Each structure stands twice: as structure tokens, then as C-alpha cells.
Amino acid sequence: MSEARRVRLEKLRWRSRRALLELDIVFQRFWRETGDSLDDETMAALERLLELEDHELWERINGCDMEASTWLRNARQP
């Protein structure tokens, strides 16, 4: 893995730590299941999701926003 990719993944992991416990649980599971296997397109999508405020992000992940919840489900598939 290149240094730039490693740094980008570490930044994403850090940014995925949230103040809302439910989001922390979701992202802990996400990282445990995906590890370092994210492609560039998925990393870009995750970067966009992580720009959202916690409550808006929770609504999207929790199924109130089908696009985000579908993305999260697809990102965890091999």
C-alpha cells in the first residue's frame, strides 16, 4: 500500500469517529469489515458522507436516506 493511500485511510478512520455513539458503533463495524479494502471511489464517497453533521449522517445511514444506506451496505460487500 502506498504511503498516500495509507494516510488517506487513516484520515478517514479518524474523521469517522463521531460524537454520536450510534455512529461510532456503525463505523467501528464498517472498518472492522472493510479494513483497508476500500477503492478510491468508495473512499471519495465516504469523504463526502463524513462532511455531514452527526444527526444528518445518522438519518442517512439509519435508512431515512436510501442513497447513503445503500452505499454503506454495498461498501461492506466483498
Residues 52-68: pLDDT tens digits?
999 988 888 887 655 66
Banded model confidence at residue 24, pLDDT cuts 50, 70, 90: very high
DSSP letter at 60 equals I
State the CATH number of the domain containing residue 15: 1.10.150.250
Nearest to 61 by CA among 19, 27, 14, 10: 27
Does 42 score more than 80 pLDDT?
Answer: yes
Look at the block and give the residue holding cell 471519495: 44
Q: Quick one: pLDDT at residue 59?
A: 85
Distance of CA 22 to the CA centre of its chain: 13
CA 60, chain centre distance (Å): 12
> How many CB atoms sit inside 10 A of residue 47's CB?
13
- Supply the range of the domain harboring residue 58: 3-75
What's the whole-model pTM score? 0.73
To the nearest whole percent, how much of the chain has pLDDT over 70?
A: 81
How many domains, the chain? 1
